[in-house]
Amino acid sequence: MDPAEFIFCLKAALLDTDITSQLQSVLSPAIDDLKTEISNLKDTISTKDIEIAKLREELEEIKQNEKGRTLKIDGLSESVQESDQNAEVYTKETVCNFVNKSLKVPLEPWEIDTCFRVGKKSSPDNKPRRVIVQLLTQNKKKKILAMKKNLRQEKDPIYINEDLIPTRAEIFKTARENVKDGRLHRAWIYQGQVFIKKNPDSEQTVIKSLSFLNMVCT
């Protein structure tokens, strides 16, 4: 049969109510089965998405816990010796002197596991490079963070913060932007977690994703 004739006959058949009724009775069970299969697949995908989200959260928690003894210090003056081959020794001394003098927290070089500067050794504005400090104990880290208030007395601004994994750093950055824009009352970090308060009288909330943060701020 010529293709044009076939199409003509098919169209004519589809206009016949008896034929379309028979086709519907034959195809309906198959269509219903497909709909059920599609629904089941959607449920499976949804379940998998939830499982993946939980695994991602657990992985981020593990990565953040690895930074549990780590601090980052910005604005801390940098000595010339911190650029030579014994840089870590001198950077440790710089950090210990600063913590003992400005924060009034006893800290010895042996209490620091690793300590180094990050970034370019020289910048156009001569800003000191950030210091990454990994302490031997979380307890010492907590004591240092608890005395951050003493930094208000410093002539030049120095900032101490917990070292966050990239995803949480992005969440915290966005949260602070929302505070500046008036959509949040406050945002802060505690033990690697991002906390917010939408209003002065509202409960504090842990934020673990940008999507949840955006939902809270709308």
- Per-domain boundaries in the chain: 70-162, 166-217
Q: Is this prediction's pTM over 0.85?
A: no
177: nearest Cα among 126, 139, 211, 213: 213
In this predicted model, what pLDDT tens digit does every residue of 36-76 receive, in sequence order? 888 888 888 888 888 888 888 888 888 888 888 999 999 99
Pick 149 or 185 by higher pLDDT.
185
Q: So what's the pLDDT on residue 24?
A: 74
**Fold classified for 70-162:** Alpha-Beta Plaits (3.30.70)
How confident is residue 124, by pLDDT bands cut at 50, 70 and 90? low
* Rounded percentage of the chain residues whose pLDDT exceeds 70: 89
On the question of pLDDT at 11 being above 80, the answer is no
pLDDT band per the 50, 70, 90 thresholds, residue 195: very high
Mean pLDDT, rounded, for 15-29? 72
pLDDT at 154 over 60: yes
User: What pLDDT sits at residue 202?
Assistant: 87
∠ CA(21), CA(26), CA(30), 5° rounding?
130
Q: What pLDDT, on the 0 to 100 scale, is given for residue 122? A: 64
